[in-house]
Amino acid sequence: MIYLDNSATTFPKPRVVINSVNNSFMKYGANPGRGGHQLAIRSSQIMFDSRNTLMRFFNAPDENSIIFTGSCTTACNMVLKGLLKSGDHVAVSCLEHNAVMRPLQKLSKNGISYTVARVYPNDNDKTLDSFRKAINQDTRLIFCIYASNVWGIKLPIDRITALAHLYGIPIAVDAAQAAGIVPIDLKESGIDFLCCAGHKGLYGPMGTGMLIFNTDIPLDTIIEGGTGSNSYSLEQPEILPDRFESGTQNLPGIVGLKASTEFIMRRGVNNIANSEMRLIQYLYDRFSKIKEVKLYTDRPESEHYVPLLSFNIDGMDSETISAMLDKYGIAVRAGLHCAPLAHEFFGTIDGGAVRVSPSMFTTRNDMDYLVNAILKIIHNLRKH
């Protein structure tokens, strides 16, 4: 199987990640922060070490600013539902994932409104102006995706962050498609809330994610329960990370995420991104010579895109293309990619598109095999 659905979940995982997860079941057999015996202390230490690794990777304020979650979606919900009140307004981009839009849609029934800012690929000035126009006197948050999971388009996050702070508004960023692919320095960028997946560009296990605080702005909790701290009180603790980590944590997943992040740090984020971008550019160049293949963006460059590419074949719907590629042993993602706004933006809402997303393990031979499979599919289509 040639796996080209890495924007959903990276596969395969580095061997060091697999080994770390397997070892965790034998070495860390107790709940962290829930006891004074050696196993519990050992588990607490590896949790702290994992936070420290991620703190260094993102240049976050401190270890306690790292809140472990089960997904980036959970982190997005924590910010939206923990910050906003009736009468508040949010500015978002036209490329947002349903991890942001569905919570916002539900919140809109409780008096919270939002405005969608248009993104202009390759023109950050116009994109920034669009966000400026989306802000009003009730805006309490700007929430935007770092890079589109459908088109790979990167938003000018640093400039949007500066705009938000100019108006005294916090910014939350969905970095599901950026973490591990784009260098993110929280102290330099000023992003207030960073929502990340652990299982995509960070190459960690499924079921891992995080919310990183780079601000003192408080959030209400959406889950309360046991934390192992202040247990005499029925009130949820105020301190981080305990306030947002009720219940038993996914320690094997967190240990795997620590190992995967250290693996990426050794390889270098830019080295990984450049390698994947060269593959996507090669694929774009080959696809651009096939008249039946429809491409929707300019040739991807690192300044404006992350390495993924969506396309269609004239006369075929995306799900059919994906199913036929599966018969050739190629895994891609078709449909709307849980991002209907992004498809409305490019006019593909009716049939979606086929997304190709490589990993650090993808080769040029994999891309050649994909192109040859597409040519065979088109040849068979012509015969009918």
Chain-centre distance of CA 203, in angstroms? 12
Burial class (CB in 10 A: 0-12, 13-18, 19+), 313: buried
Instruction: Tell me the H-state helices in 145-206.
Output: 157-166, 186-189
State the pLDDT at residue 35.
75
State the pLDDT at residue 384.
65
Domains and CATH numbers, the chain: 2-10+268-383 (3.90.1150.10), 15-266 (3.40.640.10)
Element (H, E) at 313: strand 309-313
Q: How far apart are CA 269 and CA 383, in angstroms?
A: 45
Tell me the β-bridge partners of 213. Answer: 193
Written as tens digits, the pLDDT of the chain (384 aa) is 999 999 999 999 999 999 999 999 999 878 887 778 888 889 899 999 999 999 999 999 999 999 999 999 999 999 999 999 999 999 999 999 999 999 999 999 999 999 999 999 989 999 999 999 999 999 999 999 999 999 999 999 999 999 999 999 999 999 999 999 999 999 999 999 999 999 999 999 999 999 999 999 999 999 888 877 778 888 888 889 989 989 889 999 999 999 999 999 999 999 999 999 999 999 999 999 999 999 999 999 999 999 999 999 999 999 999 999 999 999 999 999 999 999 999 999 999 999 999 999 999 999 999 999 999 999 988 776
Q: How far apart are CA 296 and CA 51, in angstroms?
A: 39
- Residue type, position 179, single letter: A
Burial class (CB in 10 A: 0-12, 13-18, 19+), 38: exposed
pTM of the model: 0.96
Query: Hunting for tokens 């060269």 — which residue is that?
Result: 278
Token pair belonging to 22: 């397997």
Q: How far apart are CA 296 and CA 312, in angstroms?
A: 9
Asked whether the beta carbons of 115 and 97 are under 8 A apart, the reply is no
State the pLDDT at residue 230.
75
Token pair belonging to 87: 């009468």
State the pLDDT at residue 381.
83
